Every structure is written in C-alpha cells, then in structure tokens.
Amino acid sequence: MRVLAAMSGGVDSAVAAARAVDAGHEVVGVHMALNRSPGTLRTGSRGCCTIEDALDARRAADLLGIPFYVWDLSEDFVEDVVADFVAEYAAGRTPNPCVRCNERIKFAALLDKGIALGFDAVATGHYARVVTGPDGRAELHRAADAAKDQSYVLAVLDADQVAHAMFPLGDAPTKAEVRAEAERRGLPVASKPDSHDICFIPDGDTRGFLADKLGEVPGEVVDESGEVLGTHTGTYGYTVGQRKGLGISRPAADGRPRYVLSIEPVRRTVTVGPAERLSVGALEAVEAVWNADAPVGPVEVHVQVRAHGEPVPAVAELTGPADDPVLRVRLRTPLSGVAPGQTVAVYRGTRVLGSATISGTTPLS
C-alpha cells in the first residue's frame, strides 16, 4: 500500500511511520503546518507545529529513509478547528478540538490530498486499532493499551475514513514500550515529552485565549433560584462541571462547593449548584456519525463522554427524521458533569460504532 504517514515531530508518529515501513508499505512522511499564519514560522519548544517540530519530523523521516514533505494546512485548521472551537465556547458549549481535527483535518483535508495523490491510507500515531470485520469491512476498535487508548477522539470518523486509516501503534502494550522502540531504532525524538495541552493553546490558558478572541462579555453567576452570587467577564470561561474560578463573591448558605450546572450565553448567565445536581441520567446528541451500521431501535451499548472518561452502559436509540436524527441515550450508570458540545462515543465491546455531539442532558434529580 502507499501510505501517507502523518508525522507531528513526536515519538508516537515517528514509531508509527517506522512500523508502516517495516510492514512493507511505500511510506511518505508529511508534517502538517497547522498552527500559524501562512507565510510565517513560529519557533519555540512547546505546543504543536513549531519549526522545531517540523525539523524533528524531518530528522525521523531521514533516519527511516522515506521522502518527507511539509504541507501547509493552517488555513483549514484555523477555519475548521480553531474557529469552531471559539464559536462553540461562544455558544455556551464545550468542544473537543482533537475530535474536530481528526474529523476535518487528519482524515479529511490530509486524507483527501493523499488520495488525490494516489495514496491508500493515512497512518498516524494514535492509539487505536483498525480491524477487518467478518463482513470484510474496516472496524474501529480501542487500543490494546487502555491507558493510552485514543479511540474516543477518532469516534467521529465515518466508514470511509476508517477504511483509509492506519494506526500502527494500536497493538502496542504500553507507551513506555513505544518509547523504548524509538530508542532502539535510534529515532531522534525518543525522549521528546508527550503533548498534553490543546495544541494551539500551548500555555494551557484557554480562558485567556478565548478572551483574546471574544473580548469581555460580562454577566452574572446565579444559583438555581436566580439569586446573583457573583459576576463574570464571559460565559465562554466556563464549562459544565467546573468548580474552580467561578467568580462567586460569597459562599453558598450551606457552605458546600458549587459547580457550573448550565451556561446561557444569550442571557450571559452561568448557573451554579451543588454536586448532586450535576448527575445526568440521560442525554440527547445530534450530528451522529456511524462507521458501523446505524443502530435500529433501542440498543445496549457503552458510551463515553470524554477522552479519558469511563465507558458506562447505556441504551441508545436514534429518533426523529432520518436526515436529521437525534440520538437518545439512557444511561444505566449516571454520569457527572456532562456538557453540551462534548462528543458522546458509542461502543459495543472494544468496537467504536460511532459518535454524536451532545445537545442536551436530563439531570437525575
């Protein structure tokens, strides 16, 4: 197969590219410049897509003896990932930019370009597995290493995208093993630290990043009875379930901590309440994408609502018009702090069936 290896300059994608070469594929490495204004180069050692990252990726490709290119996809990234992130927060929701990036950039813009150039697959350093099912179709499964499993951020891929995806690290027993392999292979990125933050906010200050884009939009922090407990400078600084930095100027009468329960950007209101009000028994989600057959009738599944969250048993059912269905999920185990905008990934065993974007929740109490 002709494989386009997406090389971030990190250790995972370097080992993934190496394994694709070992498997006998014809591999070409590509580093995507994602996070800069076209025509400029950003330096620095943290975050993503600095000139150092591109050079690290190039050094790894050189060592593997594969051709290497840098493709500037920063316009797509800014439009499809960064602008979406800002718009979602402005609308009172909590987006996951890594999910968007996989959907729109790595397995859309990059894959499309690759297919146009005659490639068969995009290989990344994600920890997930593509398995050929009994019907011959490509199935997306969790990684062997549960601690590193990234199937959640890939649950947004459709059947065609999964069929063109390759995850050479999916069977790796642990990340430590992958690092040791990088060392053995003499890959220059073997000791590079893992990335943790949102790549386009390397200092981790999401609120500051959003304030820069959206400016001050002051409003009130209220309790469920509507009593004003404090003020804020933008609802985008809040996420359902958040406890710290609420902007409450006086403690609740019962002295217990308060959490964000809901966000209403039009009224500029953040509503807070006690922990038990965060428990969710059911949720609705829209814009469902299935790489397996879409569920017919109520089906027993497991769902996961955050990248490293626990999967919980649930009954899922698609309802409403066929061209714009709503996925209704009844949770058999309640979840806490589920925010609109988060992705709900739907699993059967280790297999990812699909995902949808949470649009509403039903509290238990």
Ligand X SMILES: Nc1ncnc2c1ncn2[C@@H]1O[C@H](COP(=O)(O)OP(=O)(O)OP(=O)(O)O)[C@@H](O)[C@H]1O
24 is in an annotated binding site: no
Binding site residues, ligand X, CB under 6 A:
6-8, 10-13, 31-32, 34, 48-49, 106, 124-126, 194-195
Which strands sit side by side in the sheet containing 269-273, from one edge to the other?
228-232, 219-222, 269-273, 259-264
Nearest residue to ligand X by CB is: 10
Token pair for residue 79? Answer: 């439009």
Residue number, 25 or 31, with CB nearest to ligand X: 31
166 is in an annotated binding site: no
262 is in an annotated binding site: no
Amino acid at 183: E
Is 101 one of the catalytic residues?
yes
Whole-number Å distance between alpha carbons of 327 and 262 = 21
Is 199 one of the catalytic residues?
yes
**Measured from the CB of residue 104, what is the shortest distance to ligand X in angstroms?**
13
305 is in an annotated binding site: no
Report the b/e string of 70-103 with b at 16+ CB within 10 A: bbebbebbbebbbebbbebbbebbbbbbbbbbbb
365 is in an annotated binding site: no
Q: Which residues contact 360 (CB under 8 A, 6 or more apart)?
A: 283, 284, 340
Residue number, 13 or 343, with CB nearest to ligand X: 13
**Measured from the CB of residue 56, what is the shortest distance to ligand X in angstroms?**
9
> For 159, phi and psi rounded to 5 degrees?
-60, -40
Q: Looking at 48, 49, 98, 199, which residue is catalytic?
A: 199
Token pair for residue 112? Answer: 């499309």
The Cα angle at residue 97 between residues 127 and 156, in degrees rounded to 5? 60
Amino acid at 234: G
Whole-number Å distance between alpha carbons of 67 and 4 = 10
**Measured from the CB of residue 177, what is the shortest distance to ligand X in angstroms?**
14
**Measured from the CB of residue 207, what is the shortest distance to ligand X in angstroms?**
22
Whole-number Å distance between alpha carbons of 122 and 107 = 7
44 is in an annotated binding site: no
Residue number, 153 or 248, with CB nearest to ligand X: 153
Residue number, 29 or 219, with CB nearest to ligand X: 29
Let me know how long the chain is: 365
32 is in an annotated binding site: yes
**Measured from the CB of residue 153, what is the shortest distance to ligand X in angstroms?**
7
Residue number, 64 or 260, with CB nearest to ligand X: 64
Token pair for residue 29? Answer: 């490495």
Residues 295, 280 contacting (CB under 8 angstroms): no
Residues 140, 348 contacting (CB under 8 angstroms): no
Annotated binding site: 6-13, 32, 125
Annotated binding site for ATP: 6-13, 32, 125
Active centre residues (catalytic) = 101, 199
